[in-house]
Amino acid sequence: MTDVIAFAVLLLGYALISGRTQGTSLTAPMVFTTGGLVLGAGGLDLLGGSATGTTVRVLTEVALTLVLFTDAVRIDLRVLRREYHLPLLLLGIGMPVGIALGTAAAQGILPGLGLAGAALLASVLAPTDAALGQAVISDRRLPVRIRQTLNVESGLNDGIALPAVMVFAALAASQEVGGSAWSWAGFAAGQIGVGALVGVCVGGLGAWAITRADAAGWVNATHRRLFSVGVAGLSYAGAEVTTGSGFLAAFVAGLVFGALARQQREFVHQFAEREGELLTLMTFALFGAVIIGPRLGDVDGRTLVYAVLSLAVVRPLAVAVATLGMRLRPETVCFLGWFGPRGLASIVFALLVVEHGDVAEADRILLVAGVTVLLSVYAHGITAAPWARSFGRRAGRYDPTAPEHRDVTVHHHRWHAPRGQDTGRGD
């Protein structure tokens, strides 16, 4: 009960100042990660678990399942087809280049990982979490196209990175427990295929059912929100029991559900901003208390160097390569490159590698990924608001025909926007 009281006090304390901190350099992930570090250092073992304990694992997996589902739902695929160019470049070129650069850096700095382990680490750190720099996404002073690009990228890249994590985890495991790399890669491909198929079926059937029931007047507002949680949970569990990837199934189900049940998307957004936010904050507290806190004594110079390079060199270089020929100003490219925070997805992907049990360097991957996320929580949280303000002022003086000012539609955000700033429902 001491753990529950400590977390409740942390939650109540932040709730009392949450309105004052919105749009500032003090973010919720910073507060709850710091609280977790303090509670862990004080001897409190939150939820009585370790980084690989059942309670911690279940909570983090539930949080990621809901984030994958709700992030996929909030991306309007019909709009994205019309305004795809910049987000597609970051996802289709920037992410693979980032994984390749991250792999090369890990080979040079962390040689004990091997090639498959280095690629696995780079894939774990590929997805971004815009919630760590939410002032960037919600600041109306920034060009809509720039913040929308970061919003869409963060909503899709965790689901897109997951197959790479699974394939490289299988290849790394094949080196440790025997068997050909092709057989392990085939196993991972089967998980991906089954997961995607389950996601399509559950998401499609769920969209059909809620649309019909809603048209008949059978569903109230509260249970519309809960229905979407059931779709996410059923897609995850259905894939897991059929040897597929539950996370990929949840992501695909969200894409299908959002495309076919567009009128229900607002209720999914409401859940993500309320109940889903609590799970995310608990995950960051657990991250500080039981995932990275107890491992800080194991951090060495190589780990720190790689973490810094991943945030400050690998991501910006990948974005620069992806945006070649776009005629974006240098500061715009740097801005897009810097604001690729690592957050919830990287934490859970690293825990999955440890849980897999067949990757020899799993603990090292968890440590490096954890340090990278820890640095990202503070570095991106501190810099988001001031750079967004200053860049927004300068961008406001750009020629209206500049690439930065191309008109796009604003997708929903995964959190409530500060008062007077963008709500994510359009300008």
- In the prediction, which pLDDT does 375 show? 97
Model pLDDT for residues 55-70, shown as the tens digit of each residue: 777 888 888 898 889 8
- In the prediction, which pLDDT does 31 show? 93
Domains of the chain, CATH where assigned: 66-400 (1.20.1530.20)
Model pLDDT for residues 335-393, shown as the tens digit of each residue: 999 999 999 899 989 988 887 667 778 899 999 999 999 999 999 999 999 999 999 99
The Cα 26–Cα 39 span in angstroms is 19
- In the prediction, which pLDDT does 354 show? 85
Residue type for 183, please?
Answer: S
Q: Residues in the chain with pLDDT < 70? A: 1, 43-54, 81-83, 175-185, 187, 272-275, 356-357, 409-427
**What pTM value is reported for the model?**
0.88
Of 311, 332, 305, 284, which is closest to residue 380 (Cα–Cα)? 311
- Is the backbone of residue 244 left (phi > 0), alpha (psi -120 to 50) or beta? beta
User: 374 with 281: CB under 8 angstroms?
Assistant: no
- The terminus-to-terminus CA distance of the chain in angstroms comes to 46
